[in-house]
């Protein structure tokens, strides 16, 4: 006991160590929780801004690496693009009063068994499909000039996440980007090389029968007019190249955006795939 009658906490031994560690953990946990709650809105805003940038870049409405303010990003996006949420099974649009497309998170649905389902066996190695998916309409006045579709699938080391752009005929490819992956730099990592991505423009997603046909292949590939369904494989990255082909087949098919694209053609007077 000290002179004032209070017990003295020994600064040596296991008791002191445990108490000190416990107090430190409680304080650190409290700080982290407070920060997470206070920054929640900012984190959500940054995620939305990042998504808007990716869509602007793949549609050609923003240069890759272009330095513009967040307000300019939002203004450019809202002036040219409309986000919609669809029912992936039926292809129908989901009313905005049911799901706000500006805050919808497709990846979150995959972790909820009530909002996703087991995917049929597929070489893209996608294990689950969401009930809802997000698409983007690029506007030219009142007309939908392009459609942006989110795509994903396994490469060699990672899941590739990207966007595929289709012209309003729902068949001609207007652009592609893979914005998140963990493939080998200089090999599979070339999926985000602007020169390789440019090779996709003008090629066709579907063949004359309406089946998904675009694929990444080894060997000589001519221009889009000569080889509409083929894209040069990535040098030294066969598995990543195959992965891109597989994910295209999945997301352009009946288990992906096939039902939606069919309804879009019917509603907007687009030509049949092929």
Question: Would you place residue 27 in the very low, low, confident or very high pLDDT band (cuts 50, 70, 90)?
Answer: confident
pLDDT of residue 37: 65
Identify the pLDDT of residue 161: 96
Note the pLDDT of residue 273: 44
Contact 177, 157 (CB under 8 A): no
- The pLDDT-based confidence of 272 (bands split at 50, 70, 90) is very low
Instruction: Write out the residue range of the structural domain in which residue 221 sits.
Output: 81-268
Question: Is the residue at 58 inside a domain?
Answer: no
Phi, psi angle pair for 250, to nearest 5°: -65, -55
Query: Rounded to whole angstroms, how far apart are CA atoms 144 and 166?
Result: 11
What pLDDT score was predicted for residue 19?
76
| Whole-number Å distance between alpha carbons of 264 and 99 | 20
pLDDT at 30: 78
| 51, part of any domain | no
Mean pLDDT of 153-169: 96
What's residue 12's pLDDT? 57
SS3 167: strand
**What letters, b where the CB count within 10 A reaches 16 and e where it falls short, cover 181-200?**
bebbeebbbbbbeeebbebb
Distance CA 215, CA 228 (A): 10
26 domain residue, yes or no: no
According to the model, what pLDDT value does residue 15 have?
Answer: 72
Q: How many CB atoms lie within 10 A of CB 81?
A: 18
Q: Assess contact for 166 and 172: CB atoms under 8 A.
A: yes
Q: Residue 118: which H helix or E strand, with range?
A: strand 116-118
Instruction: Give the bridge partners for 164, in sequence order.
Output: 149, 176
Q: How far apart are CA 242 and CA 123, in angstroms?
A: 9
Residue 5 lies in a domain: no
> What average pLDDT score do residues 75-88 get?
95
Residue that wins the pLDDT comparison between 180 and 30: 180
Statement: residue 244 has pLDDT above 70: yes
- Confidence band, pLDDT 50/70/90 cuts, at residue 21: confident
Based on the structure, what is the number of domains in the chain? Answer: 1
Q: What's the pLDDT score for residue 71?
A: 93
**Interatomic CA distance for residues 224 and 201, integer angstroms:** 8
CA angle 58/63/66 to nearest 5° reads: 130
The answer as to whether 8 is a domain residue is no
* Residue with the larger pLDDT of the pair 74 and 17: 74
Going by C-beta distance under 8 Å and a sequence separation of 6 or more, which residues neighbour residue 157? 182, 183, 184, 188
CA distances (Å), 185 to each of 79, 86, 158, 181, 198, in order?
Answer: 36, 35, 12, 10, 19
Q: Quickly state the pLDDT bin for 38 (edges 50, 70, 90).
A: low
Residue 107 belongs to a domain: yes
Q: At 41, is the pLDDT very low, low, confident or very high (cuts 50, 70, 90)?
A: low
Three-class SS state of 250: helix
DSSP letter string, 53-112: HHHHHHTTSS-TT----HHHHHHHHHHHEEEEEEETTT-PBPPTTTS-TTT--HHHHHT-
pLDDT at 264 over 90: yes
Digit-coded pLDDT (tens) for 121-142: 999 999 999 999 999 999 999 8
pLDDT at residue 7 greater than cutoff 60: no
Is there a domain that residue 62 lies in? Answer: no
């Amino acid at each position: 006991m000290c002179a004032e009658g209070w017990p003295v906490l020994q600064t040596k031994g296991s008791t002191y160590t445990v108490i000190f560690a416990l107090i430190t953990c409680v304080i650190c946990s409290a700080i982290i929780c407070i920060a997470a709650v206070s920054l929640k809105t900012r984190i959500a805003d940054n995620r939305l801004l990042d998504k808007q940038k990716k869509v602007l870049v793949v549609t050609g409405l923003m240069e890759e690496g272009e330095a513009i303010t967040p307000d300019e990003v939002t203004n450019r996006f809202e002036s040219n693009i409309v986000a919609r949420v669809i029912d992936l099974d039926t292809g129908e649009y989901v009313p905005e009063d049911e799901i706000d497309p500006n805050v919808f998170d497709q990846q979150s649905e995959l972790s909820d068994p009530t909002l996703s389902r087991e995917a049929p066996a597929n070489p893209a190695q996608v294990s689950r499909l969401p009930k809802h998916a997000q698409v983007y309409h690029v506007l030219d006045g009142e007309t939908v000039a392009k459609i942006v579709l989110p795509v994903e699938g396994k490469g060699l080391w990672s899941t590739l996440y990207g966007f595929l752009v289709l012209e309003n005929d729902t068949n001609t490819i207007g652009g592609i980007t893979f914005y998140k992956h963990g493939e080998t730099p200089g090999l599979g990592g070339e999926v985000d090389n602007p020169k390789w991505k440019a090779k996709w423009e003008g090629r066709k997603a579907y063949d004359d029968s309406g089946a998904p046909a675009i694929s990444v292949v080894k060997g000589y590939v001519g221009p889009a007019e000569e080889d509409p369904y083929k894209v040069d494989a990535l040098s030294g990255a066969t598995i990543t190249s195959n992965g891109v082909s597989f994910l295209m087949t999945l997301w352009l098919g009946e288990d992906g955006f096939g039902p939606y694209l069919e309804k879009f053609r019917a509603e907007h007077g687009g030509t049949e795939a092929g």
